[in-house]
Amino acid sequence: MTLDRWTAFILMGICLLYGYTAWFNMDAGLAPFMQRNPIWPSTFPKLLSLIGLFTSFIILFGLERSEPVIGDIDYRRLHEYKLGQAIGMLVLMVLYALTLKPLGFLVATASFLILGAYILGERKWIIMIPVGVIATFCVWYLVSEVLEIYMRPLPLIFKLGS
């Protein structure tokens, strides 16, 4: 079995477990007034599990392939791909998740965007820094001020608005 079929097989198992939880466990504790609603908290997870199962079956039985395409990933040649960048981005994502609360949204997100662009190959600091800072501030402003969802903007040492 090829790598994509093994991945689809594993994804199918995850979707089965997720679907079982969504169909049988999530709705058991619903309040009586919510049981008459047309959309329950488990509606989206149910749809996700069905879409995941459908996609897994298509890949598992090879219905999506007509012939090999030049851009397909060959698992026997993984050493030729840019694994360093991929692993670097994964490590950076984990660090971002760990530093989001202590550093605050503005510092953590701007750092993530700037370092992520550097890992992916951008070397123009004069572009990376303003774009990262402006994008971070715009997202923070929209979420915090427009949607009124509080996100700690600054590091914990400032203790503002907690």
Q: For 97-154, what is each residue's pLDDT tens digit?
A: 999 888 888 999 999 999 999 999 999 999 999 999 999 999 999 988 888 878 777 7
Same domain, 95 and 114: yes
What residues make up the domain containing 102? 83-158
The alpha-carbon radius of gyration of the chain (Å, integer) is 22
Better-scored residue on pLDDT, 38 or 8: 8
Residues 120 and 64 both lie in one domain: no
Of the ranges 59-63, 75-79, 93-97, 148-152, the best mean pLDDT one: 93-97
Q: How many domains does the chain have?
A: 2
- One-letter amino acid of 67: E
Same domain, yes or no, for 88 and 142?
yes
Q: Among the three residues 80, 101, 122, which one is the final residue of a domain in this structure?
A: 80
Looking at the structure, do residues 74 and 91 belong to the same domain, yes or no?
Answer: no
Residues 101 and 64 in one domain: no
In whole angstroms, what is the distance from residue 86 CA to residue 81 CA? 9
pTM of full prediction above 0.85: no
Same domain, 115 and 65: no
Give the integer Cα–Cα distance in Å for 162 and 159. 6
Q: Does one domain contain both 61 and 23? A: yes
Asked which of 18, 47, 80 is the last residue of a domain, the reply is: 80
DSSP state of 25: I
Within this chain, do residues 45 and 97 fall inside the same structural domain, yes or no? Answer: no
Query: In terms of domains, do 24 and 71 share one?
Result: yes
Looking at per-residue pLDDT, the higher value among 148 and 87 belongs to: 87
What percent of the chain shows pLDDT beyond 70? 86
Statement to judge: residues 147 and 106 lie in one domain: yes
* Percent of the chain's residues with pLDDT above 90: 38
Question: Which among 93, 84, 94, 105 has a CA at the least distance from the CA of 151?
Answer: 105
Tell whether 70 and 111 lie within a shared domain. no
pLDDT of res. 73? 64
In the prediction, which pLDDT does 160 show? 53
Last residue of a domain, one of 23, 53, 80: 80
Question: What is the model's pLDDT at position 111?
Answer: 95
Whether the predicted pLDDT of 162 surpasses 60: no
**Are 76 and 7 in a shared domain?**
yes
